[in-house]
Copies of this chain bind each other. A is one copy, B any other.
């Protein structure tokens, strides 16, 4: 195995440490406690785990955490009213509505009701537009985490050939914008791409965000390239016993790690960075709202 393993877990811990330092200073110097409100509608078990984990880490870095759990049958009006209330609450600097919402709710409308300045998920169309025109935005957490790891590993990304596999609004498209902002030559590939192996083989940076278990084998990777694996796929693991499962990424880790220069593992790569970036975004939102300089290195 040749590649440097990019330890997302350790990196995320460092980011949380930096955030905690800034939070301590905000409290001490400005009497200001950043607050993150998380809204969960319904009982989706995975969402409950995420929300619990977010709440715990929010408190650990010294921020205030506000959890709003609503029953699955909550109607649009009630949810919109809650968002409005959080928008106007000065102790709330970041608002996250946990997705997916139950089917009867209009996700788009809810996300776009959030004050863009508090939209720490970066999904509001205003933030998409700001990012898409190279302005200061709230940047979606997962691609922001990927960018931070790439910057940390490479320093400047300027002039590198980057390929993003997947064109989702949550990862692929904002990732492409961020890499373009750092002056990569960016290619966005997807299910209709004609010769994906060949496209991936040209890349100095590969970001895989498709959600297909181990679809990228090592022989697609250019020797020495950096591989950022966003996929988190649960697959059967009969070798661990009947009915057991394990997590894999969108890349075949072993074969990619033999060829790549650097690679993020799954789990322990991109995953932990996502919540760390949520906290970083909440800090950034707090500083912007207070007219204070933004902490360096914690946003795009």
Contact = CB atoms under 8 A, between A and B. Distances in A.
B190 A187 contact: no
Q: Copies of this chain, how many?
A: 2
A128 interface: yes
Nearest to A174: B132
Contacts of A167: 180
A170 B194 CA distance: 28
Interface residues of A, number: 34
A135 B173 CA distance: 13
Contacts of A186: 187-188
A104 interface: no
A194 B183 CA distance: 11
B125 A159 contact: no
A169 interface: yes
Interface in A103-141: 108, 124-135
A125 B130 contact: yes
B185 A190 contact: yes
B192 A185 contact: yes
A189 B158 CA distance: 12
A193 interface: yes
A7 interface: no
Contacts of A193: 159, 185
Contacts of A189: 185
A192 B132 contact: no
B124 A129 contact: yes
Contacts of A126: 125-126, 129
Contact of A185 (B128, B131, B180, B188): B188
B194 A188 contact: no
A129 B134 contact: no
A169 B125 contact: no
A161 interface: yes
Nearest to A108: B135
Given A125-B129, A126-B126, A132-B173, 9 more contacts: A125-B125, A127-B129, A128-B128, A131-B132, A132-B132, A133-B173, A180-B188, A183-B192, A187-B187
Contacts of A159: 192-194
A180 B173 CA distance: 10
A147 interface: no
7 contacts: A126-B126, A128-B128, A129-B129, A134-B169, A159-B193, A173-B180, A185-B193
